[in-house]
Amino acid sequence: MAFEEIREIRIKKLQESEKKFGTAFPADVSLEMPLKEVVDNFTKFSRRRKPLVLCGRVMAVRGHGGVLFCDFNDGTSGLQACLKKDILGNEEFVHFQNLVDVGDFVEFEGTLFKTKKKEKSIKVVSWRMLSKSLRPLPEKWHGLLDVEERFRKRYLDLLMNKDARSVFETRSKIITELRNFLNGSAFAEVETLMLQPLAGGALAEPFKTHHNALDIDLFLRIAPELYLKRLLVADFPKVYEIGRMFRNEGIDATHNPEFTMLEFYEAYQNVDKMRDFVERMIKVLVKKVFGKQVVKYEGNSISFSKKFSVISFYDVLKRHALINDAQNVSREDLELKAGQFGIEVASADSEDKIRDNIFKKVCRAKIIQPTFVVDYPVELSPLAKKKKDNPNLVERFQLIMGGLEMVNGYSELNDPLEQKARFEKHQDLRQKGDKEAAEYDKDFVDAMEYGMPPAVGVGMGVDRLVMFLTDAHNIKEVILFPTMRPKEE
């Protein structure tokens, strides 16, 4: 039967339901408890003489003669409803037969019992329509050839696909455990502005908008960093924020223009201790959410039972891109090596930008077990402190797992004069055409001049972490409503 015919039939059933109930979308609901509580305590509630009132979405209806069985689900669990003509009466029984479709929300009143096949059920003495569905649920959602349709109609994906639902239930647990760990470590959760006068705190191209009343351009934030560090100036020693970031860049398996990030900052801390803190946080998270120390990602077993490895940025280039003496190699040789890997080099690209592109596009995917990459060039970290023993490098680490960058942390630059000089250098890069170079944030430099304590900051991509821990192969699988190209009609 064609979709429009089905819809017309359901609209007629809706009209009949409204004649019977007054409305097919009542505001008052008499739900006593979620189905999970009923199922988990079935023996206790089955002894109750007083009828229970339970609600849910009809997922299947079957039966013959004077008996109907209806599977319904409320999002916490499922149960079977048993409707008998000799209990309901002929009129109520026939109304259910004729008016209720799979997808409708129904309220059942009755007592609990088990069928001969030991199926947990409710023996219905009355029922009521709570919400009439006009479109039929898909029968074979798992078999959809158009994967993008799952993302466009995520509500159906979550309803019909248990695996998809499980991913987002796990995502919720992961975010909860991140908060629990930070709250338990005396960090304060804060909220900073999403519309910023300057897009700072990361090297990325922003989305631009305009505020009509103030007649000023604003940018959707690419990172909360510079505002969280203003709180360090204000003597907040430990702060964190979990929120949405926006970057006007390409979409691929690991990038979405709108994504969730965790950033946290601790004053009077050093980068080595913070690295240990991050390692401990990840290990506790994995243990609490999954109850084990090994997870699978793209066919690899990732172990969290051992100490995480540590390797320098230049040693990664040597090991995985075969660039010897990567710190001192000539630009000509860098461009040649980039070309061998199919990496385009723009005239505005600095040597460190070329190194970073090789690292991101060649080396990172080869780092599978949890590994901290350390000792990055200064140019790639305009907000990080230089190392004492090598002013060309900064006190920074990235945690790579399963070939994905999960965490970025560094000792925060708190010298306002050096910060000013680095911003000015990035202005030169912007003038040469680098749209991702850092903006000069004068107000932030002014804040630093009041004094900012030594501190370490950490950023973590929540979506990628969820991807990794749920063995998802595309970031769209872990974002409820990912950015999609408009569908061609």
DSSP three-state, residue 52: strand
**What mean pLDDT do residues 290-313 have?**
96
> How many Å apart are CA 60 and CA 72, to the nearest integer?
7
Yes or no: say if 37 and 52 are a contact pair by the CB < 8 Å rule: no
Q: What is the tens place of the pLDDT at every residue in 191-200?
A: 999 999 998 8
In this model, does residue 24 exceed pLDDT 80? Answer: yes
Domain made up of 154-308+370-477: CATH architecture: 2-Layer Sandwich (3.30)
In this model, does residue 259 exceed pLDDT 90? Answer: yes
Yes or no: say if 87 and 108 are a contact pair by the CB < 8 Å rule: no
pLDDT higher at 141 or 402: 402
Q: Residue 405 annotated as binding?
A: yes
Residue 488: pLDDT band with limits 50, 70, 90: confident
In this model, does residue 347 exceed pLDDT 60? Answer: yes
Ranges for all domains in the chain classified under CATH 3.30.930.10 = 154-308+370-477
In this model, does residue 1 exceed pLDDT 90? Answer: no
Q: Return the pLDDT at 263.
A: 98
Ranges for all domains in the chain classified under CATH 2.40.50.140 = 3-131
**What mean pLDDT do residues 459-470 have?**
97
Q: Return the pLDDT at 348.
A: 83
Residue 428: pLDDT band with limits 50, 70, 90: confident
Q: Report the DSSP beta bridge partners of residue 374.
A: 312, 397
Strands 78-84 and 120-131: parallel
Q: What is the tens place of the pLDDT at every residue in 357-372?
A: 999 999 999 999 999 9
Q: Kindly state the percentage of the chain with pLDDT values over 90.
A: 81
Q: Return the pLDDT at 377.
A: 93
Q: Return the pLDDT at 96.
A: 97
CATH 3.30.390.30 for domain 3-131: no
Q: How much is the pTM?
A: 0.90
Q: Return the pLDDT at 142.
A: 52
In this model, does residue 466 exceed pLDDT 70? Answer: yes
Residue 31: pLDDT band with limits 50, 70, 90: confident
